[in-house]
Amino acid sequence: MKFSISLFLVALIAGCSSQNIKPPIDSSLNVSKLPLQESWMDTVAFSDSGKTKALLIAGHLTMFDHPNETLLDSNVKVNFYDENQIQTTTLTSLKGRVDNTNNNLYAIDSVVAINDSGVVLRTQELMWNNNTRKIITDKFVTITTPKEKIQGYGFESDQSLRNYTIYNITYATRNDTLKNKK
């Protein structure tokens, strides 16, 4: 009986060789292209000297080392704040990215920015410069305010959409003209 138990243990140990335990390694996998971090329903604060400049909310964030960027998807929302920590503007887009070297934000696809005065910016792509707090694009934009509607190519503004420039205006009308057409 002891001999059969000893024989069984030797057979069991021999059957558990290192070949059977090690999983296969996929050598075709390029680890440098994998994300460093990934998170869902996340909020990221952009601040300076303890004051929040912007608050980014995204359904899905994927951070990479090469290139040094964070990809955003699943309904991106950014709330911008003035120097008194009061929210002035909300920007939404379907996706975007953050350049992690300078924290510039790129909003992509169905971009809409609305400020607290009712100014609405619509475009397909824009960049928020973290250092200057400016919103910039060379794409087609539509600005609608309580007083006017302007369309054109190329746009620059402060993040509160109070002081803006459209560089190549293709259409402009005042709201009193819009009311008469209805």
Confirm if 71 and 97 have CB atoms less than 8 A apart: yes
Q: Is 158 helix (H, G, I), strand (E, B) or coil?
A: strand
**Cβ neighbours of residue 165 under 8 Å, at least 6 residues apart?**
155, 156, 157
What was the pLDDT predicted at 1?
A: 60
Give, in degrees to the nearest 5, the angle at Cα 162 between 159 and 167: 85
List of residues 6+ apart from 93 with CB closer than 8 A? 76, 107, 108, 109, 110, 111, 112
> 3-class SS at 163?
coil
CA atoms within 13 A on the CB side of 19: 2
Phi, psi at residue 89, to the nearest 5°?
-145, 145
How do residues 120-171 score in pLDDT, each as one tens digit? Answer: 999 999 999 989 999 999 999 999 999 999 999 999 999 999 999 999 999 9
Residue length of the chain: 182
For the chain, the domains span 37-181
Mean pLDDT check: name the lowest of 26-35, 50-59, 101-110.
26-35
pTM to 2 decimal places: 0.76
Give domain 37-181's CATH superfamily: Lipopolysaccharide (LPS) transport protein A like domain (2.60.450.10)
Alpha carbon distance 122, 66 (integer Å): 31
Separation CA 157–CA 106 (nearest Å): 15
| pLDDT tens per residue, range 71-99 | 998 889 999 998 889 999 999 999 999 99
